[in-house]
Chain A
Amino acid sequence: DGGITQSPKYLFRKEGQNVTLSCEQNLNHDAMYWYRQDPGQGLRLIYYSQIVNDFQKGDIAEGYSVSREKKESFPLTVTSAQKNPTAFYLCASSILSGVTYEQYFGPGTRLTVT
């Protein structure tokens, strides 16, 4: 997990509340990503950013928002509009957004909404 930190490791929220998940990297990577992991479904892309102040929707962006004000940081907000927010959230980064570059992952945040 080296170089990417996610906090907190576990997060509990009441339904209807927005919650922000932190992701910080010190790898000097340009590209950053947010994924959601559900049992048996692999990873699904929520948002990605190739450069500061720019980001793109992934496959399941509805109910989520992001910002990329600094190269090192890519926080994810899970809004009350997300119908089923309980999941394991993974942040990742890569040197560039190019096709040959592998991704480095943080340790994840497990969000439980009741």
Chain B
Amino acid sequence: AQSVAQPEDQVNVAEGNPLTVKCTYSVSGNPYLFWYVQYPNRGLQFLLKYITGDNLVKGSYGFEAEFNKSQTSFHLKKPSALVSDSALYFCAVRVPTNTGGFKTIFGAGTRLFVKA
């Protein structure tokens, strides 16, 4: 079965320190991977995506993610965390459906707390 796993329910980091939010995937074929962020009582916002090419993808708000095919991972990173980065982060993979379209499978989410 195709799936996305976020092994950490919560990540705590001090402001100014680097942060990593982990994601692993299991898909058949090429993976098309995404990261989204959700602030309280809001919809999700797109951060970045990996489709092909360079394994290091840069996105919004200083975030980046590293695609590792051998480890089937797509970890989200930021060199220096801000308190305002505190939010719920979702990893997602886009897969074909049996009706000719595509759907997105989301991980369960990781809550990031950045302490001042």
Contacts and interface: CB of A to CB of B under 8 A. Distances in A.
Interface of A: 1, 4, 6, 31, 33, 35, 40-45, 48, 50, 56, 58, 90, 92, 97-100, 102-108, 110
Q: Helix, strand, loop or mixed for chain B's interface?
A: strand
A88 to B, nearest CB: 8
Contacts of A50: 101
B49 A100 contact: yes
Interface string B50-68: 0100000000000000000
Nearest to B35: A102
A42 B109 contact: yes
A35 B109 CA distance: 14
A6 B101 CA distance: 24
Contacts of A97: 101-102
B43 A99 contact: no
Interface of B: 9, 32, 34, 36, 41-46, 49, 51, 90, 94-97, 99, 101-104, 106-109
Contacts of A6: 43
Contacts of A110: 41
B17 to A, nearest CB: 26
A102 B106 contact: no
Contacts of A40: 9, 108-109
A6 B97 CA distance: 26
A48 B109 CA distance: 22
Contacts of A33: 104
Nearest to B30: A99
A35 B43 CA distance: 11
B43 A1 contact: yes
Contacts of A106: 43
A43 B34 CA distance: 14
B96 A99 contact: yes
Contact of A99 (B42, B94, B106, B109): B94
Contacts of A43: 44, 90, 106
Contacts of B101: 31, 48, 50, 56, 97
Nearest to A9: B41
